[in-house]
Structure 1
Amino acid sequence: MRGRGEVPIGRRMAELRARRGMSQQVFADRIGRSKSWVDKVERGVRTLDRLSVIETVAGALGVAPTILLTDKPRREGVTDTEAAVERIRAALARHDPPDADGPPVRQLDDQAGYAWAAYRKGHHPQVLRALPDLLTATRQANHTGTAADPLVRVYRLAAQTLVKLGEPHLGLLAADRAMIAATGDPHRTGLAAVSLAQALRALRRGRLAKAAALSAVHQIDLTPSRAVLPDGPGLTGTLLIEAALAAATCGDAATAHGLTERAVDLAAAHGNWQYDGDGVAFGPVAVTLARALVATHLGDHHHAVTLHRHAANGEGWHRLPAEHRAAHLVDIARAHLDLGDPAAAGRALLTADRLAPAETRTRPAARATLTTILRTGPTWADVTRLAAVLGLTRQ
């Protein structure tokens, strides 16, 4: 009999799938099964007892098979990342009133800036340590005027970090808080909409993500002072990219290509200019990388890899933040796998690990890709070592 503390394997599978923002149909497609099969396993109608199937399921979820097989509740094996996420969850759950004796707005904005600088470098553990206190401090500040700036910045940082770590539902909550704090200011709203669109895409809500991004573009276009905004066309371009990626996740190729062409034209109109702000990087190279991701979502992996190589060999590649480059490499590794080239996928992950180790060592997407690479057969020694660091094996 199952012990009182044991969590059924189907329920563990359902929990991990939901935390990664995958529907039953999307998950079924990834493991080569039907939606009905997934539903029956999660409800306990079907048993999941073949090791080969368990390995496939674990690989798609980006976890070691032992996470599914263990008889102990998941909370007993909490990792540093999971503990940090729980502290952020607790901070988001609090609703402290403004404190007149709280830290000055300038200090809060500086602290938010330092945290965003760490994010851009891919120092996600440092960001995770800073976020709970930042959320508390900014929430206690006066929420009007310039005080809204650090509040929006911190909620956006929380949202984008959580989405990256496979917590899209919690990321959506933080992004929604950013949108509320940004109300009435088209520029702040545009920044918050970038984070909101990313969270919605992670939850497979592509149409909502596209609507959020394009609505923000419309608000910016109607702003008389848009020509003097601090990020120029960078914010508009990033929102267009987010909308294009959202359309691609829905399979709407025509809209996705139309939006990327608008971004291409906007980048071309400003030559080699490149904007890099709080989680917003825009310029010719960033647009090319986005076009590669659009191609992967639409199933054109050959074109995706071609675009990636063109961008990575260009001068602008090295001017992008380490986080941006490493995150893209993790995504493009999947395209290499879908083309039947696990060696190229492994090289992409190794390069990402050199640029920003936390991208490969904390993101479920990287773990899932690395697990799949291991299952294809012998790998480079460096890939095997990276897998060992992450606690992944072929068995």
Structure 2
Amino acid sequence: MGAAERPNQRELPIGRQVAQWRVRRRMTQQMLADRLGKSKSWVDKVERGVRTLDRVSVLHDLAGVLRIAPAALLDPARPPTVTVGAVDGVEGVRAALAVGEPSGWRAVGSGAEVAGRLGHAWLTYQHTRYSQLLRILPELLAVVRHAAEAGIIETGTLVRAYRLTGQALVKIGEAELAWLAADRAVTLAAGEPRWCAAGTVPLAQALRSLDRPQLAYAAALAAARQLAAEVPGSPAARALHGALLIEAAFAAADQPDTAVGLDPGTADGLLQQAAASARLVVDGEDPEWTGFGPSAVGLARATAAALAGETDDALERYARLSTRPGWRRLPVEHRAAYLLDVARACLRVGDLLAAGRLVMMAEQTAPAEVRTRPYARDLVTGIIRGGGASSALIRLGTDLGTA
């Protein structure tokens, strides 16, 4: 959310500020209550102004959970300071998206160097090194922007840089800022189908993270249709086309009862189309950093089944897929993210043991995917609160500050 879009927080009571920051961090009132060791009713009363925050210790606890400085609640005019984990680099990325150039950055003189730096950043993402990625993104954006303005690289390379930024921000729970980065990518694409498709991948992810499945579905499907004419001739286009179909399928499966014009069969139809594209893609060949291929479609089917509440089917599909060679060819980020998505679905239907087991498998696959993402911490909190946590998960929860 840009500065122009933010309400004037000077005029907001502290309870309203708490509610706004809670929504920005993608927490329900129950999630916030669980992290604070309070009741949902307590949070509701604070946000409505019925209960005042008159203890400094409670104010500090609340600010810590919301990942802002306590002074941001006491003095809304002061810019909020992010205080926890990998999100320490968010403000630098925010400044870079405002077309600010970090101090000490240097322009590069060749397209090969730009491509090399961007490729290194993508590998950093796929290996779940989110803290490191956030540190390098501000300078990378400045470098790629300068190179595009100088004609050293094509605009599509800058679109990819914004796409990477958007996907990374979704991971760390900054979906609104991810939306801004994705919007930059789509705007730069200027109607070119392949570049527009690249920018729409993080846009759909951000919209789903903000609980807007209808918009995610519409955006992903529109971009996929625009790209469809290029699918037969280009491996990169096929990969992006398939990735967009998967995003649309997830949006349809996650909340089919609230997505206008969708029904539970929509996701399956989209995944059948993705499978057709995947037949022409080899697992591990990833020209657009999508991870798309036959194995990714198989995992997407498992995830869609889980999102639709069919967790037994999802677990059976996962068990089969995880023994195949293509599973190991997927980036660790891809594998761990799928495990967390299915874990969330298991938690929804009350299968706490399966949810806990999947979270621990994700932690073994890519520790940073679990230890960095607020999404994962909320999962761990929910499982522990539900009484279905193993001793290993409780130890993990203690490390994460959720137990």
Q: Distance in 2 between matches of 1:271 and 1:112?
A: 23
Looking at structure 2, the residues matched to 213 and 123 of structure 1 have their Cα atoms a distance apart, in angstroms, of 27
Q: Which residue of 2 aligns with 1:333?
A: 343
Is the partner of 2:236 in helix, strand or coil? coil
**CA 189–26 in structure 1, closer or farther in 2 if over 3 Å, else same:** farther
Aligned residues: 365
Quick one: which of 155, 160, 169 aligns to 2:162? 155
Q: Select the residue among 153, 163, 176 that pairs with 1:169.
A: 176
CA distance in structure 2 between the partners assigned to 1:133 and 1:113 by the alignment: 14
State yes or no: 1:105 paired with 2:118.
Answer: no
Alignment match, 2:136 = 130
Query: 1:38 deviation in Å?
Result: 7.9
Asked if the contact 1:305–1:336 (Cα under 8 Å) also holds between the matched residues in 2, the reply is no
Q: Is residue 9–residue 68 contact of structure 1 (8 Å, CA) maintained in 2?
A: no
Deviation (angstroms), 1:167: 0.6
In structure 2, runs of 5+ residues without a counterpart are: 1-9, 34-39, 73-79, 257-261
- Aligned counterpart for 2:236 among listed residues 231, 234, 243: 231
Instruction: Quote the offset at 1:240 in angstroms.
Output: 0.9
Q: Which residue, out of 256, 275, 293, partners 1:264?
A: 275
Distance 1:19 1:343 in 2: 26
1:42 alignment counterpart: 47
CA distance in 2, matches of 1:155, 1:71: 28
Give the structure 1 partner of residue 4 of structure 2.
Answer: none
- Cα distance in structure 2, aligned partners of 1:103 and 1:237: 34
Take 2:46 and 2:291, find their aligned partners in 1: how far apart are those partners? 42
Alignment of 1:110-259 (within 5 A): 110-143=116-149, 146-223=153-230, 226-231=231-236, 233-251=238-256, 252=262, 253-259=264-270
CA shift digits 1:78-116 (9 cap, x unpaired): 1242320111111111267xx996543321111010000
Note the C-alpha offset of 1:184: 4.2
Q: Secondary structure at the match of 2:190?
A: coil
Shift in CA distance, 365/138, structure 1 to aligned 2, threshold 3 Å = same
> In 2 relative to 1, CA 76–198 (structure 1 residues): closer, same or farther, beyond 3 Å?
closer
C-alpha deviation, 1:291, in angstroms: 1.7
**Secondary structure of 1:222's aligned partner:** helix
The structural deviation recorded for 1:27 is 9.9
Q: 1:73 to 1:299 in 2, by over 3 A?
A: farther
Instruction: State whether structure 2 residue 314 is matched by structure 1 residue 304.
Output: yes
TM-score by length of structure 2 reads: 0.78
Query: Aligned equivalents of 1:71 and 1:184: distance in 2?
Result: 41
Aligned-partner Cα distance in 2 for 1:104–1:163: 30
- For 1:58, the equivalent position in structure 2 comes to none
Comparing 135-144 with 152-161, which one deviates more in the overlay?
A: 135-144
Q: CA offsets, 1:257-315, max 9 Å, x none? A: 21112122333x43865543444122222112112222233233333223222322333
- Partners of 1:301 and 1:338 within 8 A in 2: no
Q: Which residue of 2 aligns with 1:358?
A: 368
Instruction: State whether structure 2 residue 295 is matched by structure 1 residue 285.
Output: yes
Query: Whose RCO is larger (CA < 8 A, sep 6+)?
Result: 1
Q: CA deviation at 1:323?
A: 0.4
Cα distance, 1:389–1:273 mapped onto 2, change above 3 Å: closer
User: Is 1:93 the equivalent of 2:98?
Assistant: yes
**Aligned equivalents of 2:62, 2:364: Cα separation in 1:** 23
In structure 1, give the amino acid aligned to 2:174.
E
State the distance in 2 between where 1:378 and 1:25 align.
18
1:67 aligns with 2:78: no
Q: Contact conserved, 1:17 with 1:27, CA < 8 A, in 2?
A: no
Distance (Å, rounded) in 2 between the aligned partners of 1:214 and 1:68: 34
CA distance in 2, matches of 1:70, 1:152: 30
Query: CA RMSD for the aligned pairs?
Result: 3.7
Q: State the shift of 1:321 in Å.
A: 0.6
1:369 alignment partner AA: L
TM-score (norm 1): 0.80
The runs of 5 or more residues in structure 1 that have no matched partner are: 29-34, 55-62
